[in-house]
Amino acid sequence: MLELTRLRKGLVAEEKPGGDALAPYDGDDAFDDVFKIGQEVVCETEPRGSAEPDGASAEELVINATGGFVGLWEQGTVLNWRFNPQALRRWQFPQQITARVEMLFATAVKVWGDAAPVKFSYDDEAWDFEIKPLVADKQVAGGFVLAEAFFPGGGQQELRIYPKMFDPALDPAKTLAHEIGHIFGLRHWFALLKEQAAPAVSFGTIDDPHSIMNYGDNCRITDLDKSDLKTLYELVWSGRLKEINGTPIRLVQPYHLLGRLVGVAA
């Protein structure tokens, strides 16, 4: 199911050769907010803005076990993406940034192999999410955030990338593979215990802490990650799985198809 289609028309920004690709633009419209950097690396994928056309949050769509449903992508889904143009203007050398991010993103998607339930296509016009490379780092709970993604939903969304993610010592491709797991509909491995404010449901094997959806040394892609994800979507798409632990499953389409809810898996 893995496919990356590149339809970029090119950036219009004029750049000078050389220089630091990670140097922010120092013009008048540069970001004013500067965050301190702590010692911990965290993922802060959470609902922002309107994940659904009617204003429902991504958390409510995907994992709200009290009054919602589990949202997963419809079979054959293609997610159109582009770079956020306003964010690129903050960088001195935006073309170097986009080239680096594209390479890392493609590598991260390939990590999931044929378990990936969606395809990705670059489209400046009919886009479902933007990749937003930010120039300022973000601190939360004593640490700093590398990236923020989103869960399946019909609204236009963002994949935010912070400068520290580019640190080779932090394995940026692995970070993006983790965030792509969220885009596929996965929560953190420890969500049932530590993220109870946003109810989660479990599927497959959760005994082994080694997972791309975990943190630290335990954060690594495993055959179990891929097999569980692939099995989940195959069961849902075939109609053999209609709910998870009593929570109904619904298949959703991306924004460029008007965000229309396809219906309960049947």
161 neighbors 44 (Cβ within 8 angstroms) = no
Phi-psi sector, 171: left (phi>0), alpha (psi -120 to 50), beta: left
Enter the tokens of residue 34: 């500067």
pLDDT at 22 (0 to 100): 56
pLDDT at 50 (0 to 100): 29
Boundaries of every domain in the chain? 4-8+39-187
Enter the tokens of residue 247: 């929570």
212 neighbors 116 (Cβ within 8 angstroms) = no
pLDDT at 247 (0 to 100): 80
pLDDT tens digits for the chain (266 residues)?
A: 333 333 333 322 233 334 455 554 444 332 222 222 223 444 444 333 223 333 333 322 223 233 367 889 999 999 999 999 999 999 999 999 999 999 999 999 999 999 999 999 999 999 999 999 999 999 877 688 899 998 888 889 999 999 999 998 888 988 899 899 989 988 643 333 333 334 444 444 555 555 656 555 555 677 888 888 898 899 999 999 888 777 888 899 999 997 444 455 54
Burial 86-104 (b: 16+ CB within 10 A, else e): ebbebbbbbebbbebbbeb
pLDDT at 246 (0 to 100): 78
Q: Is the CATH code 3.40.390 the one for domain 4-8+39-187? A: yes
pLDDT at 87 (0 to 100): 98
162 neighbors 146 (Cβ within 8 angstroms) = yes
pLDDT at 118 (0 to 100): 97
Torsion of CA 27, 30, 35, 36, to 10 degrees: -10
